[in-house]
Chains A and B, each alone.
Chain A
Amino acid sequence: MTTATTPVRTAARPSAPAPGRRAKRSGLGKRLELALLLGPALLVFVGFVLVPIGIAAFYSLFEWNGFGPLDDFIGLDNYADAFKGGVFQGAIVHNLIIAGLSIVVQLPLSIGLAMLLNRKLRGRAVLRALVFAPYVLSEAITAVIWVLMLQPNGFADQVLKGAGLGGLVHQWLADPGIVLYTLFAVITWKYVGFGIILLLAGLQGVPAELREAAALDGASAWQITRHVVLPLLGPTIRIWIFLSVIGSLQLFDIVWIMTTGGPANASTTMATYLVDHGFKRYEFGFGSAVAVILFVICFVFALLYQRFALRRDTQGALTRMVG
């Protein structure tokens, strides 16, 4: 094929004098093509992502209730206020707890279940569908379902009592001491299916020959898992951690609907704090400052993570520059 097409192309452009110049010209064409194809997306990105971030950063320098003219410039006071306030500090801690718990609890759980579901067992398709089902529900619906199940003497308590575990019954959403962990359990219920699907896809990429070879060399099932499967799952796990931490930092819907950050701010997250102050209290300047802080935290994490954790995975994945 190649041998047939090359002469045709040369024939179509008889004026192309040297390979070097031809490459340059087609490079220019490629650039034009890129600009044409990328342009609209870039415009949308600038207009709906970069500009709003800039505007929010601008608003955050003012004391502003969202209505009047922007005339009360206060510099970085909003940022100082945010970090001075115990509630916002608490919110950051809550986000970090959720992120940490995700890695410590959700990840092993997802890996374990994924490996289980990767085996040949009866009803595997049904099990997979069941595990994945919660992920398909919207966060709002998940939250409403769980509010109803977790209310005092609700479904969760009845199940515990029925199983003879009545002593475990708690005020799941009303006790400041445990509300954050209740929310984490709901988040886990919803997102573990997503982790499993991701990891199942990763497991498909682990060649059966490698396991067989290890088994022939006398490796135990645990050794195979530890030294063959897990390392090959690495890229998937690293992506999962990335998504999970970003998700934990931006946590909003489930918390807002189930507790609105209460009781006594025990489950406030950065995002609920932002909406509470920005929209419910008309503190738009301050809310913008909180939004910028949240953005910077996520952005810095994303950059560092790309740089240090994902570098190996993305190496060679980027197309080299044309021309």
Chain B
Amino acid sequence: MFAKHRIPVLAALAAVVPLALSACSGGTEAPAQPSGPVTLTWWHNGTTDPIKSIWEKVVADYHQAHPDVTIKAQPLQNEDFPTKVPLALQGAEPPDVYQSWGAGDLASQITSGKVADITEFTKPWITQTTGKFGENWQVDGKQYGVPFEQHFVGFWYRKDLFQQAGITTPPKTMDELNTAVTQLKAKNIAPIAVGGKDRWPDAFYYNYFAIRECSIDVLKQSVKAVKLEDPCWTKAGQDLKNFLATQPFQTGFAGTPAQQGAGSSAGLVANGKAAMELQGDWEPGTMSSLTEDKQLDSKVGWFPFPSVAGGQGDPAAVLGGGDGFACTTRASKACADFLQYLGTEPVQTQLAAQGAGLPVNTVAAKSLKTDTLRAVYDYGTKAPYLQMYFDRAFPTAVGAALNDAVANMFAGQGTPEGIVTAVNQAAAGNK
């Protein structure tokens, strides 16, 4: 619900020249850790419940346990982060703790010299708390942030509509998925909803086809080199093209938003107007806010992205990402201690129990709200490999170019080779 909740509403275009940042450039000198009472400014995206109340409680609880640390929480709209964080990191007083989705974005932000290397402070506990997942907040082997939630993408589906169409078991292979699509169409049900207007939901399909077509080694090496060379990347594009040719999506999907209103892709599934949607674990939360249906949780199920015949990839590898926080240099020790607290059982249990997301700390998993979410959690954490969404894994500009190229293919333009070329060109610095 949070990692991908990126509706770019109201980006500020105040004037013709909105890009004029303050002229100060980031100094690189390492500031001393302040001794005595510390105030941490905390930028998080918890503007709505349940996470809003959870973070409020966290602030109060933490202060009680650490009287010398005051936390000044500042909830910001999710879509404000891409503009505010660069400006703040360029300015004189960035926040001490800010929302970070790791990987490519974080790597870009580190060049400001204001993001703190917290390897030393987190080493004693990070693996125990976050498992291997915390590595996504590392750049060149150094820890720059800590996750508090993880996300996995798969198909959410309506059990009632599947039954109507006579589909007895969730599809395990692409062939089975195609059959299910045909069966649903025969009953006049839109098989799959996708929020094509927002582009990133389109990208999930290409992401998954690539994960199924490319071996884990190729995935790792390609992301590291920011270069798509192996033919499996083109093969993934071809898979996507073939899949699009079966017309599995709702009418007008290229203009459909993902999460806004009953007409969004999430709303269509929530209200029984479409049978499936490829989305993250946040989807039940998003859907329930778009429907009156109190029984929704019992009506939806989940299955992983099907296997692709002949692919080099591991059929059990999973696509996902997570939410975390990064520290800036002023008070990195205090910040790291605070992030450790967010990974502890009491906080993690609250996050899980109140449906805010999937915890990083395994002890909290049993508190997850529904059996379906527990199943998603088990599937994701046991997967042999987690591929972070490519738009996060790659540097920001490259990720955006990939999403654009995929969205173009969804809109009926572009080729499998075109996606590969777009990524490689963006990586080479071409606009």
Contacts and interface: CB of A to CB of B under 8 A. Distances in A.
Given A55-B20, A70-B25, A280 B252 contact: no
Given A67-B110, A82-B431, 13 more contacts: A49-B15, A65-B397, A66-B90, A67-B86, A85-B431, A174-B256, A257-B9, A262-B254, A271-B13, A275-B18, A276-B400, A288-B17, A291-B17
A298 B16 contact: yes
Nearest to B263: A151
A310 B158 CA distance: 62
| Interface of B (DSSP majority class) | loop
B107 to A, nearest CB: 10
Interface of B: 8-11, 13, 15-21, 23, 25-26, 82-83, 86, 89-90, 108-113, 196-199, 250-257, 260-261, 263, 396-397, 400-401, 404, 407-408, 410-414, 429-431
A282 interface: yes
Interface stretch (A13-21, A248-256, A315-323): A248-256
Interface in A33-74: 49, 51-53, 55-56, 59, 63, 65-70
Given A151-B255, A152-B251, A276-B400, A173 B263 contact: no
A263 B407 CA distance: 7
B265 to A, nearest CB: 11
23 contacts: A49-B15, A53-B16, A53-B17, A65-B111, A66-B86, A67-B26, A67-B109, A67-B111, A68-B113, A70-B25, A144-B260, A171-B254, A176-B411, A176-B413, A252-B13, A262-B197, A263-B255, A271-B13, A274-B18, A275-B18, A280-B400, A282-B397, A291-B18
Contact of A140 (B9, B255, B261): B9
B186 to A, nearest CB: 20
6 closest Cβ pairs, A-B complex: A173-B255, A174-B255, A52-B20, A264-B411, A263-B411, A263-B254
A100 B422 CA distance: 32
B19 A287 contact: yes
Interface string A253-274: 1001101101111100001001
B83 A279 contact: yes
Nearest to A149: B263
A282 B19 contact: no
B255 A63 contact: no
B431 A81 contact: yes
Contact of A265 (B26, B90, B408): B408
B421 to A, nearest CB: 13
A283 B263 contact: no
Contact of B112 (A68, A259, A265, A280): A68
| Interface of A (DSSP majority class) | helix
Contacts of B196: 174, 262-263
Contact of A286 (B251, B410, B431): B431
A256 B10 CA distance: 8
Given A171-B255, A173-B255, A281 B397 contact: yes
A51 B25 CA distance: 17
Contacts of A262: 196-197, 199, 254-255, 407, 411
A266 to B, nearest CB: 8
Listed residue (B20, B26, B89, B109) with the most chain A CB atoms within 10 angstroms of its CB: B20
A294 interface: yes
A16 B256 CA distance: 78
A56 B18 CA distance: 8
Contact of A67 (B112, B253, B255): B112
A49 B14 CA distance: 12
Listed residue (B18, B429, B430) with the most chain A CB atoms within 10 angstroms of its CB: B18
A53 B236 CA distance: 44
A279 B90 contact: no
Nearest to A270: B16
Contacts of B113: 68
Contacts of A275: 11, 13, 18
A154 interface: yes
Contacts of B397: 65, 277, 281-283
A159 interface: no
Listed residue (B15, B25, B412) with the most chain A CB atoms within 10 angstroms of its CB: B15
Contacts of A287: 19
Contacts of A256: 8, 11, 13
Contacts of B431: 78, 81-82, 84-85, 88, 277, 283, 286
A179 interface: yes
